[in-house]
Amino acid sequence: MEIQQIKNFLALAQELHFWKTAERIYITQSALSRQIKALEEELGVKLFERSKRSVKLTEAGAFLRDQWLPLLDEINRIHMQARKIHEGAFGTVRIGYPGSIIYSFMPDLISSIALSLPELKVELVEPTDISFEQLLLDYKMDMAFRRDPAENPALQSKCLYSEPFALVVPSDHHLTEQNFTGFNDLKNEKFILSDLTQNSVYTSNLRQIFEDYKFTPKVYIETDFGGMSLGLVSKGLGVTILPYSYSFSALPNVRFIPLHYSMNLFVVWRKNDNSPVLKNILHQVLEVANKYLVGSK
């Protein structure tokens, strides 16, 4: 017994007319008759009462129609779901990201995914004590955004765009983009920064900035969370240096002064991952990043 035989039986059970049914399903009347006869012989039951003027379902035929209709709907749903999985339009994708892109790139990306792939479930991960690379290698993430390229040869990375660093000060601070001349203007300021002894890309960039200006900041508060630094600056507790994308937070009482230093954003994924979902998401990533790439030039 084949699914197509059942579909043809159900079509005939609806039309109760061999010629009209054959025309509807694009086969000859004789071919339809042979299929129904073969189905009856395989099941050992008579499905239709036939006469020159009419075709009627038998009780057994009516029973099978009522049982097979919902089953066929479920099979069709399963087949459609399988097709969506094959095309990468259904499933789950786990994405890791740094806090610095939560106000700009990530919302744009998730909006794009929701619009193009509405049945795809997105799980967002912001690692704190486990490396992005290890989570990718352990299949606990499918894709990650980070500030440096992947080091492990099993991973692949692509630079999406660059963005400037910015000095962040309270909105009533005397320094502005117009009158800021260098870090000597900040010698008496209290800084809110990450621990500068760390080996992250962010802190390496900060150290480079301070070394270039031969400047030693007076660190008043240490925190590794950019959102926290931004909130503390808005309360007038000091100044900080953050990627410019934090300016999209719309947090009140802060001013961003762009610096002549920048940092990159990379997307990283497993090199041999052939997931159709990942392929679709990478396409979305590159489309969204192109807007930021143009804006960074």
| Cβ proximity of 68 and 6 under 8 Å | yes
- CATH 3.40.190.10 residue ranges for the chain: 91-160+265-296, 163-263
Q: How far apart are CA 293 and CA 273, in angstroms?
A: 26
CA 283-271-159 angle, to 5 degrees, is 55
- CATH 1.10.10.10 residue ranges for the chain: 3-87
Residue 126 pLDDT: 83
Q: What is the mean pLDDT of the chain?
A: 90
| Cβ proximity of 269 and 132 under 8 Å | no
Show the beta-strand stretches assigned E in the chain: 48-50, 55-57, 91-96, 120-125, 143-146, 155-170, 190-193, 218-222, 240-243, 254-270
Res 128 pLDDT > 70: no
Kindly report, residue by residue over 49-93, the tens digit of the pLDDT.
988 788 999 999 999 999 998 888 888 887 777 777 767 777 889
Res 294 pLDDT > 60: no
What's the whole-number mean pLDDT along residues 20-31? 90
Q: How far apart are CA 160 and CA 144, in angstroms?
A: 12
Confidence of residue 261 (pLDDT cuts 50, 70, 90): very high
Q: Which two tokens stand for residue 157?
A: 């990375």
Residue 165 pLDDT: 95
Kindly report, residue by residue over 152-197, the tens digit of the pLDDT.
999 999 999 999 999 999 999 999 999 999 898 999 999 999 999 9
Kindly report, residue by residue over 218-244, the tens digit of the pLDDT.
999 999 889 999 999 999 999 999 999
Question: What CATH number matches the domain at 91-160+265-296, 3.40.50.1820, 3.40.190.10, 3.30.70.260, 3.40.50.10860?
Answer: 3.40.190.10
Give the lowest-confidence range in 70-79, 196-205, 250-259: 70-79
Residue among 103, 70, 89 at smallest CA distance from 284: 89
Kindly report, residue by residue over 278-287, the tens digit of the pLDDT.
999 999 999 9
pTM over 0.75: no
Q: What is the CATH number of domain 3-87?
A: 1.10.10.10
Q: With residue 1 as reference, give the H or E element that holds it.
A: none
Angle between helices 3-15 and 59-87 (to 10 degrees): 130
Confidence of residue 297 (pLDDT cuts 50, 70, 90): very low
Question: What CATH number matches the domain at 163-263, 3.40.190.10, 3.30.479.30, 1.10.10.10, 3.40.50.10710?
Answer: 3.40.190.10
Q: How far apart are CA 119 and CA 80, in angstroms?
A: 12
Residue among 141, 83, 82, 88 at smallest CA distance from 113: 88
Residue 51 pLDDT: 83
Residue 81 pLDDT: 75
Question: How far is the CA of 7 from the CAs of 25, 29, 42, in angstroms?
Answer: 9, 15, 16
